[in-house]
Structure 1
């Protein structure tokens, strides 16, 4: 696997990730950068985009999904609850949603998915090998906002408790939708919001 980190435009600087398998199939997690940025890497590597995986449906995470899907014929995964066809949730639909605890396989890559509503109703986290793509569920030392459309502080607390019990190694790299990277273990140990949700269980 080859992995690339791209960043969306200001003011959000959304983290986006492009993975290329050994068979030259590509997966984008949260298509937030410009279409041509992905195209450049894909063409340089001789790869074909086949899967677009959205951790949730906010406009700063899905902005290039439609253009990339049309250009490459790639399928889009996003929870139906986050496909509103609005300015805030621009996707009108997706090819697939996610099965709780289910696996999505692309060549040698396997993504395991858990639903984590709270930032949005359709938020998910995705584990692939040693990478945990968490969207806006968890940040380094923080969590996603719950006061926006589709958000819920109660559901976020429930999701944080679920998150803290995931069967994954503590050294797994935590890749959030914004800001610096961390590890799963570091956030369990130091993230105030996770620790507070566990105390209030």
Structure 2
């Protein structure tokens, strides 16, 4: 059975997740604390580091984690050049933290699949919060990054954001993610697709709330 560990990182309380299967681990969005996460995961083999999008609060710890573990680093191609230039520098918040990302071992595209031990994953393109945002779809769960939150969604006022694209992405996720799935968000609490379909105003036809905040 898979194990999930969660760390809260970065100045913006970003959720970092470690999925573990038979001692093999995939880290999702290490924020700015790669060295700390490597220490926390010394009891397993970190094989993969995957980022849902290119913002500093999700990627600026990749270099330290990769150097400590020699894991493969994967992230969306559409966010890679921007993240390569801006990671570790002053970002949209006016803050600088973490380090520049290393070269990616693999750039992800819509529909790409991979395995961690016995677990299978698929990348679903989820532009809107950033041009290259992706949802990482597992078996019974999904890492949704800053695309979807409990009763909210990601902001679109940062460079590269698009409200229209985010609305199209949310409509696609309604079709792609089963109601029974658990959603692990980039900030805030986990939720379920059933909960969001029932109560998230951004997933209701013809209803919209104020824009998200992360």
Could you tell me the TM-score, scaled by structure 1's length?
0.89
For the pair 1:195 / 2:204, whether they are aligned, the reply is yes
Gapped regions of structure 2 (runs ≥ 5): 93-99, 209-214
- Note the C-alpha offset of 1:92: 6.4
Cα distance in 1 for residues equivalent to 2:206 and 2:14: 26
* Cα-Cα RMSD: 2.0
What is the match of residue 35 of structure 1? 34
Change in 2 beyond 3 A, CA 1:67/1:36: closer
- Note the C-alpha offset of 1:58: 0.2
From 45, 60, 65, give the equivalent of 1:68. 65
Q: Secondary structure at the match of 2:160?
A: coil
From 95, 102, 107, give the equivalent of 2:105. 95
Please identify, of 117-126 and 100-109, the stretch whose mean Cα deviation from structure 2 is larger: 100-109
Change in 2 beyond 3 A, CA 1:40/1:93: closer
- Note the C-alpha offset of 1:31: 0.7
Change in 2 beyond 3 A, CA 1:147/1:51: same
- Note the C-alpha offset of 1:197: 6.5
From 179, 192, 197, give the equivalent of 2:188. 179
What is the match of residue 144 of structure 1? 154
| Contact 1:171-1:184 at 8 Å conserved across structures | yes
Change in 2 beyond 3 A, CA 1:197/1:132: farther
- Note the C-alpha offset of 1:35: 2.5
Could you tell me the TM-score, scaled by structure 2's length?
0.83
Alignment of 1:6-25 (within 5 A): 6-10=7-11, 12-22=12-22, 24-25=23-24
Cα distance in 2 for residues equivalent to 1:184 and 1:161: 13
Change in 2 beyond 3 A, CA 1:33/1:187: same
Q: Secondary structure at the match of 2:109?
A: coil
Q: Secondary structure at the match of 1:170?
A: coil
- Note the C-alpha offset of 1:39: 2.2
Change in 2 beyond 3 A, CA 1:74/1:191: same
- Note the C-alpha offset of 1:189: 1.7
Aligned length: 194
Post-superposition Cα deviations, 1:7-45, rounded to whole Å, max 9, x if no partner, equal 0143x10011011221x22110111252343223322x2
From 100, 113, 120, give the equivalent of 2:123. 113
